[in-house]
Amino acid sequence: MADVTFTVDGKKLTAPAGTLLIDACRAAGIEIPAFCYYPGLSLQAACRMCVVRVEKMPKLQTACTTAVTEGMVVSTETDETKQARKATIELLLGNHPLDCPVCDAGGECELQDMTFKYGAHESKYVETKQHREEQKWSPVVYFDRPRCILCYRCVRVCGEGMDVWALGVENRGVTSVIAPNEKDHLDCEECGMCIDICPVGALTSGTYRYKTRPWEMNHVGTVCTHCGDGCKTTLGVRPTDDGVEIIRGDNRDKSGINGDFLCIKGRYAFDFANHKDRLTKPLIRQADGKLAPVSWEQALDFAAKKLGEIRDSRGGNAIGVIGSNRTTNEETYLLQKFARTILRTNNVDHHRTADYAAFAAALKGHAGREASLRDFLSARAILLLGNDPTNQHPALAWQVRTNVRHNRARIYVANHAEVKLRRQAKAAVDLPADAYASFVEYLAGKDGGFEANDTSAAFRDAIRQEESLLVAFGSEFRGRDILVLVDFGLSLPNTKFACLGDYANSRGAADMGLLPDLLPGYVPVTAAAHFAEEYGSALPTQPGLDLVQMLDAAGRGDLSALYVVGSNPATRYGIDPSALKNTFLIVQDMFLTETAALADVVFPAANLYEKTGTVTNTYGDLQLVKKAADKSGVRTDFEIIVRLADKLGADPKQLVPFGKGVRADFGQTRGAQSGEADRHAVWLAANHLEPKLSPFDPFAILDEIQRLVPAYDVPRLNLLTGNDEHLKSELVQIDASADRRDLVLPSNDLLYTSGTLGRYSAKLTEVVESHTILMKPAEAAAD
């Protein structure tokens, strides 16, 4: 719309006609207080905090509902508005318990801030306050009614934002109250969005309530360790006797790719770190067949000695390595480098949840065709093939819903299941579970394979008329089907794609070469090119065994050693424990998983919240993870790999080139100021240098990744400041014609589960159980 010019507090401002006054002011740095207004949600105009004086208008106007017009003259802070706001706060405080000293929101409460600003600390009311007991609405949501100021933010975010509609308002006037959908409890998605958005402490979290005060925590912005969406989450941490514990997860600065959103896992499922079964000492299997704690030195020596012996006597091919979907890119990269250069084997794999290699092959050479998670917020049209984002990619589902609400994006859903996003769909087609591939051929114009009807015909026509399209597809698509889909997409005017995989760094695991036939960046092991030079040792050139083949080989007695990092194949692939009895098994994990229980050596590992590095979400958005928590006794996977390499007699500097790239300086350049560690760090940061003084520094490996994997060569500074960078996915060196097994095994995780990790999260377990209770009556009724 055309721009209009208007005056606020004497400043001339310009904004498109129709912009809300409150937004226009905020954009110009003029803060207008607001309780009920929340950007992106529908307007409520319930609180009257945002009142301003607009010249020629009879009464004070609410800035949250007034659109700017040409020539408008506004004053935002006058005695009159101050008085009005003060009166509003006085009314709000009329029945407010003022229990700020124990309230979770104390210190970060908008009502406190406003009372402080407008000084409504005296009450003229003599009526007794109405007290109501706190209510537990679900394992994660608690409601403290007297604190509620009835801004309706929670109602709107749950309804409009989440499309759950679990919260409502009952009664009216002074008796109005926020009510859950099941009378005294909630039946909902447990996302906690309502808690985060509550300006006061009326809605509180089952995880965090009454634990601490906000100012007693440090806050670290990092990336969620659960699904493949890679939401930014802020962890509130506090020192304990044995490290640093996480006590809160929330979405503090809203600067991440997830915007306002976090699902239950990003917000609450960090508690696995404090699970009582967490391993903190290395274990070695003793003569009596039992695992017993030993020192790190002993465990590393023992593991390295055995690995070395097996490598030297039977060759690298007798050793297998299984990596993780949740370690950082640097760790993943390091693991395959360790396997290939030190163990001299290509038997490297991981639990694959999407066929990223086929996707890379299909996109090769097509620049700008991979969709970032951000793109789903603004795309005009989205085609969703398979998958159930509400359960498997909650942040994606949020982006899609928001896009529909804000921009009326057109959503097309083709699925074999009743996925919830169909509610937002402009058109939907029911597919038989095995008809995805033929449906794509049908979309591309090849009739015959797919049983068409009027609905599918209209669907096809609508899609082909879109001027631009985002296509997101689930693990229903693998191998050649992906190629066909991408080819079809490329035949349309302007299409981007997203391949949906399951875990926090599933994408990174594939990109970083945890595959038997592909090096980082999908370079074939048969033509290792610059890797051979860079790694400085002869690389095995034959493709190795994939995960299933490794397990088969172990069963036959052909695999003498298996090194498993952050993975639980025993459960995932239902391995018979006896199959591994002749294999020397090293497992690196947080818990004694089913796989670790079979191991000869177990190393207690740190989790993603306890380390620094980068991860790649399933859309190819690269982000920095920052160390938030700590647990004494455990070590990062990075450190364990380096130490193992060292014990195997390798040169750590060869593995982690911490002397290459930008060199740190030891203070020489600063003369008299040298020797002060903190100043040194400040100086380095100011000069965009990083101290790479240790072989445990993941940034030394990031340097190498950026040098050797062109897709990852993205600007580093933006990454370091906590922003996402999208990969240049077209720059892969994959051999697209090669025939490969995809071996995709979807995790089938839902909203409240998260593989092995989820089982160790007390909160997720509690929620799963409470929902089973909720579901029971309905089940009983059904039979």
Partner 1 sequence: MATETTTIFSPELAARFDKLVTQYPVRRSALIPMLLYAQDEVGYLSPAVIAEVAVRVGIKESDVLSVLSYYSLLRTKPAGKFNVQVCTNICCMLRGGNELFEHCKKRLGVGNKGVTPDGVFSLEEVECIGACSWAPAVQINYDFHENLTPESMDSLLEDYRAKAGK
The footprint of ligand SF4 (CB under 6 A) covers 141, 148-154, 157-158, 162, 164, 166-167, 178, 186, 188-194, 197-200, 202-203, 224, 226-227, 229-231, 258, 262-263, 265-266, 394-395
d(C-alpha 389, C-alpha 396), whole Å: 6
Which pair of structure tokens corresponds to residue 64?
A: 């949250």
CB-nearer residue toward ligand SF4: 194 or 744: 194
CA distance 225 to 626: 12
Choose one: 32-40, 230-238, 576-584, 719-727; the region binding ligand FES (CB under 6 A). 32-40
Q: How many CB atoms lie within 10 A of CB 130?
A: 12
Q: State the binding partner of 48 from ligand SF4, ligand FES, partner 1, none, CB within 5 to 8 A by kind.
A: ligand FES
**Residue 774 interacts with partner 1 (CB under 8 A)?**
no
Place of tokens 């610059």: 530
Q: Does 170 bind partner 1 (CB under 8 A)?
A: yes
List the single partner that 172 binds among ligand FES, ligand SF4, partner 1, none, CB under 5 to 8 Å by kind. Answer: partner 1
The burial class, CB within 10 Å (0-12 / 13-18 / 19+), for 101 is exposed
* Residue among 66 and 753 whose Cβ is closer to ligand SF4: 753
Phi, psi of 218, rounded to the nearest 5 degrees? -95, 150
194 binds, among partner 1, ligand SF4, ligand FES, none (CB under 5 to 8 A by kind): ligand SF4
Q: Would you say 85 or 496 has its CB closer to ligand FES?
A: 85
Q: Closer CB to partner 1, residue 187 or residue 552?
A: 187
Contact between 172 and partner 1 by CB under 8 A: the answer reads yes
Distance CA 774, CA 162 (A): 20
Among 8, 13, 36, 602, binds ligand FES (CB under 6 A): 36
Q: Which does 64 bind (CB under 5 to 8 A by kind): ligand FES, partner 1, ligand SF4, none?
A: ligand FES
Chosen residue from 55, 99, 113, 182 binding partner 1 by CB under 8 A: 182
Phi/psi at 516 (5° precision): -70, -20
Tell me which amino acid residue 774 is: L
Q: Cα Rg for the chain, rounded, in angstroms?
A: 28
Give the distance from CA 582 to its chain's centroid.
38
Instruction: Return the number of the residue (35 or 302) whose C-beta is nearest ligand FES.
Output: 35
Cβ–Cβ under 8 Å, residues 383 and 376: no
* Contact residues for 500 (Cβ-Cβ < 8 A; gap 6+): 228, 354, 387, 389, 392, 393, 396, 472, 473, 474, 475, 618
Q: Taking the alpha carbons of 138, 141, 146, 148 in that order, is the dihedral positive or negative?
A: negative
* Residue 133 binding partner 1, by CB under 8 A: no
Residue nearest to ligand SF4 according to CB distances in the complex: 266
Residue 472 interacts with, from partner 1, ligand FES, ligand SF4, none (CB under 5-8 Å by kind): none
Q: Binders of partner 1: how many residues, by CB under 8 A? A: 11
180 binds partner 1 (CB under 8 A): yes
Cα 408 from Cα 733, distance rounded (Å): 39
Nearest Cα to Cα of residue 628 among 608, 644, 658, 656: 608
| From ligand FES, partner 1, ligand SF4, none, interface partner of 49 (C-beta below 5 to 8 A by class) | ligand FES
Neighbours of 211 (CB within 10 A): 14
Which among 51-59, 167-175, 370-378, 511-519 is the span making contact with partner 1, rule CB under 8 A?
167-175
Q: Which does 200 bind (CB under 5 to 8 A by kind): ligand FES, ligand SF4, partner 1, none?
A: ligand SF4
Tokens 């995880």: give the residue.
207
Q: How far is CA 593 from the centre of its chain?
A: 23
Among 10, 56, 171, 287, binds partner 1 (CB under 8 A): 171
652-691 mask for partner 1 (x: CB under 8 A)?
Answer: ----------------------------------------
CB of 141 to ligand SF4, least distance (A): 5
Among 541, 498, 507, 530, residue whose Cα is nearest residue 712: 507
Q: Least Å distance between CB 493 and ligand SF4?
A: 31
**191 binding partner (options partner 1, ligand SF4, ligand FES, none; Cβ < 5 to 8 Å by kind):** ligand SF4
Q: Does 60 bind ligand FES (CB under 6 A)?
A: no
Report d(CA 312, CA 344) in Å as an integer. 10
CA distance 65 to 78: 19
Amino acid at 513: G
- 50 makes contact with ligand FES (CB under 6 A): yes
> What's the min distance (Å) between Cβ of 184 and partner 1?
12
Q: Which amino acid is at 290?
A: K
Q: Return the number of the residue (197 or 419) whose C-beta is nearest ligand FES.
A: 197
Among 6, 15, 24, 35, the residue binding ligand FES under the rule CB under 6 A is 35
Residue 34 vs 334, nearer CB to ligand FES: 34
Give me the least distance between CB of 777 and ligand SF4, in Å please. 20
Q: Using CB under 6 A, which of the segments 31-39, 236-244, 530-538, 603-611 binds ligand FES?
A: 31-39
601-604 and 613-616: which strand pairing? unpaired
Q: Residue 522 in contact with residue 731, Cβ under 8 Å?
A: no
81 binds ligand FES (CB under 6 A): no
Alpha helices in 364-499 (DSSP H): 389-392, 394-407, 436-443, 454-465, 480-491
CA distances from 684 to 325, 681, 687 (A): 32, 5, 5
With CB under 5 to 8 Å by kind, the binding choice for 192 among partner 1, ligand FES, ligand SF4, none is ligand SF4
Does 62 participate in binding ligand FES (rule CB under 6 A)?
yes
- Do 443 and 460 meet the contact criterion of CB atoms below 8 Å apart? yes
Q: What is the 3-state secondary structure (H, E, C) of 634-652?
A: CECHHHHHHHHHHHCCCCH
Residues that bind partner 1 (CB under 8 A): 165-166, 168-172, 179-182
Residues that bind ligand FES (CB under 6 A): 34-37, 45-50, 62, 64
